[in-house]
Amino acid sequence: MFNVYFIFTFLIYFFLKYFLKLRINKKKEDPKRFIEKLGLINKDFHKNEVVWFHGVSVGELKSLFPIIDNFIKRKRKVLVTTSTLSSYEIYKIKYDNNHNICHQFAPLDCPQIIKKFFDYWNLKIIFFSDSEFWPNQIFEAKKRKIPIVLLNGRISLSSFKKWKFLKYSLKKILKCFSIILCQSLEHKKRFEFFYEKNCVNIGNLKFIHDKKIENNLINKKLKLLNKIIFSGLSTHDTEEEACINAFINAKKIQKNLVHIIIPRHVQRVNQIEELLEKKKIKKKIIKKVEEIDDEEKVYVVNSYGKTNEFLNISKIVFIGGSLIKHGGQNPIEVALNNSYIFTGKYIDNFKEIYSYLLQLGSVELVNSSEDLKNNIIHCLNYKKYENINIREKILIKGDEILQKTLDTLENFIKDKCVFDKT
């Protein structure tokens, strides 16, 4: 299998530049930095004894922040790679002025690109997250005897069923990892079905969050003090319409209800505008909370990096990617704001987290857009959104997982003598 993969990725390399330029036209790539994905280094940064973290998109990157912070605190030089523009925006907000860390767009998994990347960076240890299994990268690291750690390791049920037909292939990949820190016992068992020797159940890093409370932005100036904010977060196609229909219906009984749509991909804002125009609903495209006014309209967010500000004022939140077969989105940031959460049934990627929040009584599952419409009314009538107080419980759980992760990594790094001077 891997011989075929190697040949395929070797040949596709010669077409990648044209492919990336097409993506630039669609505003999905950085027009100046897309060359980084081809293995061309576009940074002036210390390249020796580097710790490499890869988080493909926003969720994966955020889950790595506490571990990255620990290495920066220890004066290690850190390289972070991500694949999406949105994840780079999140990176900039947190680390843009920190000289001990550098961002690069992730190299594509072609042998020519990976060789250039590894030849340039003197990598001491590599951290991948979730289910990042890129064979050329992994085998190149193994060949150069660079330790690879999988953080927050998971294999979704659908992927598990597919990998069963390629059991030997995945085993060969997993043997290259020095240690796999799994996000739950269920995922540990799935990994061990393929390879038993290097898996540890740590817990889900996405429970970890900064204790700092965001400034509450509800004030008289915003005229939101007596409003109930219902937000649709990380919504995908068809889910905005479900939220809008639920809002229109609920607005009949709750006049002070305000609706905010925060799409998963801001490139879809025009599509959402067209939907609102079709339904003859007033709308306003905004980038920050302060742009919300007192007029009755639906607000559509057209920016990255400000999500927490909107969540901070939201009492009711529908989390997208869940009424469609996408696997759901991480609900922790919403739950930390003590918001009442609605989600669809397709939440396999965050099953453990949702189970925990269901036990705390802050989440409600809906099977359809009609369910969402009816259940929002029920939530408003019985004021279910009031007196949700689960933030401290989540923070305590996150602290326990973080400490366990850091202790495990510290012992591993010492045992393997990863750095010349530890």
CATH of the domain at 261: 3.40.50.2000
Which tokens hold the place of 55?
Answer: 């988080």
Chain centroid, CA 43 distance in Å: 25
Domain count, the chain: 2
Same domain, 184 and 251: no
Classify residue 223: in a domain, yes or no. Answer: no
Same domain, 200 and 300: no
- Summarize pLDDT for 371-384 with one digit per residue, the tens: 999 999 999 999 99
Same domain, 38 and 88: yes
Whole-Å CA distances, 90 to 59, 65, 103, 124:
10, 11, 11, 25
Classify residue 25: in a domain, yes or no. Answer: yes
d(CA 107, CA 116): 9
What are the CB-based long-range contacts (under 8 Å, 24+) for 31-35?
33/105, 34/105
- In this predicted structure, what is the pLDDT of residue 214? 52
- Say yes or no to pLDDT of 217 above 50: no
**What is the pLDDT averaged over residues 247-258?**
94
Query: To the nearest whole percent, how much of the chain has pLDDT over 70?
Result: 95
- The residues, ordered by sequence, that sit 6+ positions from 314 with a Cβ below 8 Å of its Cβ are 229, 230, 231, 260, 334, 337, 339
Classify residue 335: in a domain, yes or no. Answer: yes
Q: How confident is the model at residue 422 (pLDDT cuts 50, 70, 90)?
A: very low
Same domain, 170 and 272: no
**What is the pLDDT averaged over residues 66-87?**
94
d(CA 242, CA 340): 17
Q: How confident is the model at residue 48 (pLDDT cuts 50, 70, 90)?
A: confident
Same domain, 361 and 247: yes
Are 112 and 16 in contact by the 8 Å Cβ rule? The answer is no
- CATH number of the domain encompassing residue 138: 3.40.50.11720
Classify residue 221: in a domain, yes or no. Answer: no
> Average pLDDT of the chain?
91
Classify residue 422: in a domain, yes or no. Answer: no
**pTM confidence score:** 0.83
Same domain, 189 and 62: yes
- In this predicted structure, what is the pLDDT of residue 158? 86
Angle at 76 between CA 71 and CA 77, to 5 degrees: 115
DSSP 273-330: HHHHHHTT--EEEESSGGG--SSS-EEEE--SS-HHHHHHT-SEEEESSTTTTT----
Per-residue DSSP letter, 338? T
- In this predicted structure, what is the pLDDT of residue 218? 45
Same domain, 200 and 258: no
d(CA 397, CA 334): 16
- In this predicted structure, what is the pLDDT of residue 231? 97
At 254, is the secondary structure helix, strand, or coil? Answer: coil
- Say yes or no to pLDDT of 396 above 90: yes
Which tokens hold the place of 28?
Answer: 């999905």
- In this predicted structure, what is the pLDDT of residue 213? 55
- In this predicted structure, what is the pLDDT of residue 42? 66
**What is the pLDDT averaged over residues 154-160?**
90
**What is the pLDDT averaged over residues 101-106?**
94
Same domain, 73 and 190: yes
Radius of gyration of the chain (CA): 22
Classify residue 222: in a domain, yes or no. Answer: no
Q: How confident is the model at residue 221 (pLDDT cuts 50, 70, 90)?
A: very low
Same domain, 152 and 187: yes
Are 214 and 312 in contact by the 8 Å Cβ rule? The answer is yes
At 104, is the secondary structure helix, strand, or coil? Answer: strand
Same domain, 41 and 122: yes
- Summarize pLDDT for 286-304 with one digit per residue, the tens: 998 989 886 778 999 998 7
- In this predicted structure, what is the pLDDT of residue 219? 46
- The residues, ordered by sequence, that sit 6+ positions from 74 with a Cβ below 8 Å of its Cβ are none
d(CA 119, CA 93): 30
Domain residues for 342?
Answer: 228-394
- The residues, ordered by sequence, that sit 6+ positions from 270 with a Cβ below 8 Å of its Cβ are none
Are 136 and 111 in contact by the 8 Å Cβ rule? The answer is yes
Q: How confident is the model at residue 421 (pLDDT cuts 50, 70, 90)?
A: low
Same domain, 69 and 201: yes
d(CA 4, CA 185): 33
Classify residue 217: in a domain, yes or no. Answer: no
Same domain, 125 and 243: no
d(CA 361, CA 412): 38
- In this predicted structure, what is the pLDDT of residue 188? 96
Classify residue 60: in a domain, yes or no. Answer: yes
